[in-house]
Amino acid sequence: MKTGRLFWGVLLTTLGLLFLCVKFNIINSSFSFVWDLWPLIFIFWGLLVLIKQPIIKPIISSLFGIFVALFIFGGIYSLFSGFGFEFDDDANFTTYSNNFYEDMDKNVITAQLNFASGAGAFSIDGTTDKLIEGHSRGWFSDYDINTNIEDSAAFIDIHLHEKNFQFFGKKLRNRINMSLNPDVIWNIDLSYGAANGKFDLSPFKVYEVKLGAGAASTEIKLGDRSDETELHAEMGVSSLTILVPKTVGCKLIGDTFLVSRQMPGFTKKSNDAYYSENYDSTTKKLNIYLSSGVSSLSIKYY
């Protein structure tokens, strides 16, 4: 089959499936990440021109068709639903709505938060005098929340209840907002799929953040309450924005060959390491380790 026919066939089929899924409420998630990945159009186009192997070229053509379909669908979807990230308390979420919290134990010094979910919109925003509190809501937001305290360490696991994992018959509305205690040292592990994530960690003492995301749009804001913070990001076709205070020196290590980068003030000092202008002059450090597919990365100082 000619690659041109394959491209158009895959594109139209993917577009049809996406609109069908939305029409019957099978999916209801953000597609804002596609706007940050527009350079892929030229990459796929160039690969089709360069590669002549009859086995590989149809694969690239098919992937190109899928991406263009997502790009077109994302543009149309945004006209009707918008890409704004917000938690609308007036939204009609009638299946699950749950407030949760864990009281603060005066012996707790460090806390490990493990959060795992699928598609949806997730945030950490604000502080609390409890160890953690939050609110989940949506058709698809029945979470299991378990906390274990051992001596001075707290371990918090938040994940979707398996029995309510549904794809058909209901929209995948899944939103959760969390607040954390600012007086403990946090290690945070975030894992999710096609989603919007907005995590304001600036009020907290953060030692380590691990981020595993699929087709997601994620913003992480960090502060300067820790002398050293590590951020490990393993991403698929995603966009990641990192906000860093001017008092913190930043280092990025990772394979960024196919990553669209917006990192003003950074200098490349080796094959896979970038340093901010103030890295050597500051006592506060942020070290970013990126393991990525084709993604968009932006590091901004505030």
pTM equals 0.69
Cα distance between residue 295 and residue 38, in whole Å: 10
Residue 20 structure tokens: 């069908």
Cα distance between residue 154 and residue 201, in whole Å: 18
Going from the C-alpha of 248 to that of each of 21, 210, 224, 229, 286, the distances in angstroms are: 44, 19, 6, 10, 7
**What is residue 26's predicted lDDT score, i.e. its pLDDT?**
61
At residue 299, φ and ψ (nearest 5 deg) are -120, 120
Q: In sequence order, what DSSP letters do the residues of 60-121 get, joined into one string?
A: HHHHHHHHHHHHHHHHHHHHHH-------TTS---SEEEEEEEPPPTT--EEEEEEE-SSEE
**What is residue 82's predicted lDDT score, i.e. its pLDDT?**
41
**What is residue 157's predicted lDDT score, i.e. its pLDDT?**
95
At residue 149, φ and ψ (nearest 5 deg) are -115, 125
Residue 38 structure tokens: 């527009």
Nearest C-alpha neighbor of 293 from the set 259, 248, 262: 259
Residue 193 structure tokens: 């799929």
**What is residue 164's predicted lDDT score, i.e. its pLDDT?**
43
Q: For each successive 10 residues of the chain (302 residues), what is the average pLDDT?
A: 77 85 61 67 81 82 85 65 42 62 94 89 94 81 83 92 45 78 97 87 97 86 97 85 96 79 89 91 95 81 96
**What is residue 207's predicted lDDT score, i.e. its pLDDT?**
97
DSSP state of 37: G
**What is residue 77's predicted lDDT score, i.e. its pLDDT?**
61
CA dihedral 175, 237, 18, 4 (to 10 degrees): 170
pLDDT in tens, 192-202: 887 789 999 99
Helix axes 56-81, 3-23, angle to 10 degrees: 30
**What is residue 75's predicted lDDT score, i.e. its pLDDT?**
66
If DSSP codes are grouped into helix, strand and coil, which group holds residue 42?
Answer: helix
